[in-house]
Amino acid sequence: MSASHDTGRLRALARPTSFTFDGERVEGELGEPVACALVALGRMPWARSPKFHRPRGPACLRAACDGCLARVDGEPNVMTCTVPLAPDMDVRTQNTLGSRTIDLLRITDWFFPDGFNHHELFAGVTGVQTVMEVFARRVAGLGRLPARSVATKPASRRRLDALVIGAGPAGMAAALTLADRGRAVEIVDEGFGAGGSLRALHEAEMPRIHEVGHAFERALHGGLVAARTRAVVGAIFERDVLVVGEGGAEILDPETLVLAPGAHDGVLAFEGNDLPGVMSARACATLVGRGVRPGDHVLIAAPGEPSPFTRSIGRILSGTGVEVTVVEEPPVRVTGSSRVREVELGGRRVRADLCVVDVEPSPAYELAQQAGATLVHEPRGYVPALREAGRIDARTWIVGESAGARLAEEMIDGVRAVIGAI
């Protein structure tokens, strides 16, 4: 069987590789996130919600939603935005009865448009309850267990000088500043490589942040900083920092700990905001930055000032034939059966196959809370409340968007000031 060619690309594949999707041989860019390859191939949606089987699409491209789950090489519930495409990968939709496009279990959604509590469904009705229990056990849950189990390995323990969590703009600036001061720095990030939000920015946006990225690459290659990517920091407990990645689990005890996990994409409440094709501006900028044509008619709802991600999208899609419309008003609803087809704004309807939401992000506060920070609630979300800029305790610091700063070139000065105070 020959590989079918992608149709949703802004440029030709530089390193084409073939893989299978639901048994069909297809092509993508070697090393790109599998989710990007599937969007480019026009396979959205490929995931379903576990209970009502509503179609799901990638909304964040950074491991923060359930819109991109698939079975990859026999492993269920893989966030395909976190996995680099490799030759002959076997990617399959899961959690459907029928096919990717026609999931018979979607009937649940139509029967119960207002939702239902499955714990109480037919409870106490003799006979029917038993039948429903058997049925529910067969259809509930996400995916099937892998054919092979993976042996567990104990986590190793290690002490180190300085650990930075998050290799986005703030984390890279923090690591560079620490390295400049002679500290032995390690940095961990769950992405494919360093960069974080920087990877979604057009090179003309925020040149000082791009400079930080270039300097970080040089420091990495020069051995001044050690990086571990595709590794998740699972928890901070007293002095222990649990890091889990491809090489196994480690419990680290750093002399200095700097948190820079960034921010969660902001969301807007409107009807249909879970439809495939609704995504954050950062996710859309990531797609187009990787050369994926995200749709034909892109509507960007930016109620505040458009972010650098929206500006990057405009720059990259200019002249490509993709229609980009930026509006200030939030959508009232989006409609479409398995993907956005139309966006309703106050009093008018706009044809769109992508509805991009560009609102203020909320700090990724979770690790700061585990490290002992007190949180205050603001309209944008929880923000660490700190008595001294950037300081949580004697060895733990927090910088960048996770500390409440806005993604801007000036953020780098704030990071350097905090690290200079350590």
Residues that bind ligand FES (CB under 6 A): 35, 58-61, 63-65, 67-68, 79, 81
Q: How many Å apart are CA 395 and CA 153, to the nearest integer?
A: 29
What is the DSSP secondary-structure string of 247-289? TEEEEEEEEEEEE---EEPP----BTTTSTTEEEHHHHHHHHH
Helical residues (DSSP H) of 259-324, grouped into ranges: 281-289, 308-317
166 φ/ψ sector (left φ>0, alpha ψ -120 to 50, else beta): left
Could you tell me the two tokens for 399? Answer: 């910088």
Nearer to ligand FES, 50 or 155 (CB): 50
CB of 89 to ligand FES, least distance (A): 16
Is omega for the bond preceding 113 within 30 degrees of 0, making it cis?
A: no
The answer to whether 54 and 34 are in contact (CB under 8 A) is no
User: Dmax over Cα atoms in the chain, in whole Å?
Assistant: 72
Nearer to ligand FES, 58 or 191 (CB): 58
Nearer to ligand FES, 36 or 175 (CB): 36
Q: How many CA atoms within 13 Å lie on the side-chain side of 317?
A: 27
The answer to whether 302 and 84 are in contact (CB under 8 A) is no
Could you tell me the two tokens for 30? Answer: 């070697």
Nearer to ligand FES, 169 or 276 (CB): 276
CB of 83 to ligand FES, least distance (A): 10
Nearer to ligand FES, 65 or 236 (CB): 65
CB of 233 to ligand FES, least distance (A): 17
Give Rg (Cα) of the chain. Answer: 23
Q: How many Å apart are CA 248 and CA 266, to the nearest integer?
A: 32
Q: How many Å apart are CA 223 and CA 175, to the nearest integer?
A: 12
Nearer to ligand FES, 216 or 309 (CB): 309
Q: How many Å apart are CA 210 and CA 208, to the nearest integer?
A: 5
Nearer to ligand FES, 162 or 283 (CB): 283
Nearer to ligand FES, 64 or 226 (CB): 64
CB of 80 to ligand FES, least distance (A): 6
Q: How many Å apart are CA 331 and CA 336, to the nearest integer?
A: 14
CB of 38 to ligand FES, least distance (A): 10
CB of 258 to ligand FES, least distance (A): 25
CB of 279 to ligand FES, least distance (A): 8
Q: How many Å apart are CA 257 and CA 242, to the nearest integer?
A: 13
CB of 154 to ligand FES, least distance (A): 29
